[in-house]
Every structure is written in structure tokens, then in C-alpha cells.
Structure 1
Amino acid sequence: MAVNDDELSAMAIEELDIACALPWPDMKSVTPWGDSFTGFAPSGREVEIERRYLWAHEPEGAIAVEVEVRDIGARTGAEAKALITAPR
């Protein structure tokens, strides 16, 4: 069964929620950092999941969290991004 764009998008959003759940001190300590791993789409197909924690240019001190889910070996897929600022 082929993984469709909706499935990849839903996975990217779900993985972004998980990536953003990291407490601020922990997130700050691992930035900049990224990893990728193989997972399974709900359809059962293998996909590659990539997470990135990067320092954002604006606002200063914020962290850009990016997640991409794509077919194994594909160059593009569905992407979800968030900008996390320090708690006040």
C-alpha cells in the first residue's frame, strides 16, 4: 500500500508534537542537533523520520523545531515546523 501525502503530513505533525514536548532546558541543551530514524506509517510502509533542533534567527534565542517524514530514499516528503521560545 502506498503512503500518501496526507499520511506523511499526519505523521509529521504527530512527530512534531512529540519533538516539541521536550522541556525547554532539555531542548536548549541539545540545540543544534538532529537525527533520523526508520519508522512505520499507519499503512505499514517503512518511512524515514528526521528531526532537527536549530537556533532560530528571529526571535533571538528561539529554537526552530523541524520534522520531515518521507519514503525511504526519497529526497522530499511532508514537513512540519514549529518555533519555540523560552518560557517567561
Structure 2
Amino acid sequence: MTAKEGLRADLAKAAHEEIERACTLGWRQLSAHTPWGDTFEGFTPAGREVCFERSYLWDDDPGGDIRVEVNVYQPRAFEEGVRLTRKIAKETSAS
């Protein structure tokens, strides 16, 4: 594996871990805070210093499904980061 492939795999693993955490709350909890986003510094599983960017956005119309976006990148290398997206469907229960 080349150094670039190793970096990409490390960023991807960090992004997968972060999107799992980002999706632990359900639609009901997130809807009160959507749209929202944050960027913070941390470390990948291999110990690289990176930026984690997390966003909760309305997928289409406000009050509908929520799109969760995670981007993990090395400082000053945003374009080479790994971006993942998931959707949290609007709950249909009446309560």
C-alpha cells in the first residue's frame, strides 16, 4: 500500500467511525437542532491529526428527512478529505 493509499484508508476509517456517532440520535432529537454543523480537531485511528466536520441539514424541505454529512481531512488539505453522507428518515409516529 502506498503512503497516499494508507492515508486515504485511515481517513475513511475515521469518517466511518464519526458518521456512526453522528447518526446515534434519531430524527426527533436532531430535528430541533437542524440545520447545524460543527468542526473540531481530533485524531484518526492511526494517530494523524485531522479535522472532523459534521453537519445536519434538511435533505429537501425543512421538517423532512435529515441529511448527515461528515468530512474528515488533514489541516490545510480539505480537498483530499473523505466525505460521507447518510439520511435519517423523518419519523412517521404521531407522538
Q: TM-score, normalised by structure 1?
A: 0.87
- Secondary structure of the residue that 1:21 maps to in structure 2? coil
- Per-residue CA deviation, residues 25-79 of structure 1 (Å, 9 max, x unaligned), is 2211110000000001122121000000000127x71110000000012122001
Partner of 1:82: 86
Q: What is the alpha-carbon distance in structure 1 between the residues aligned to residue 17 and residue 48 of structure 2?
A: 17
Map 1:27-38 → 2, pairs under 5 A: 27-38=30-41
Shift of 1:13: 1.1
State percent identity of aligned pairs: 40
Aligned to 1:67: 70
Q: Which residue matches 1:18?
A: 21
After superposition, the CA RMSD in angstroms is: 1.9
Aligned to 2:50: 47
Spell out structure 1 runs of 4+ moving beyond 6 A: none
> What SS is found at the alignment partner of 1:4?
helix
CA distance in structure 1 between the aligned counterparts of 2:90 and 2:38, rounded to whole angstroms: 22
Q: Structure 2 regions of 5+ residues with no counterpart?
A: none
Aligned length: 87
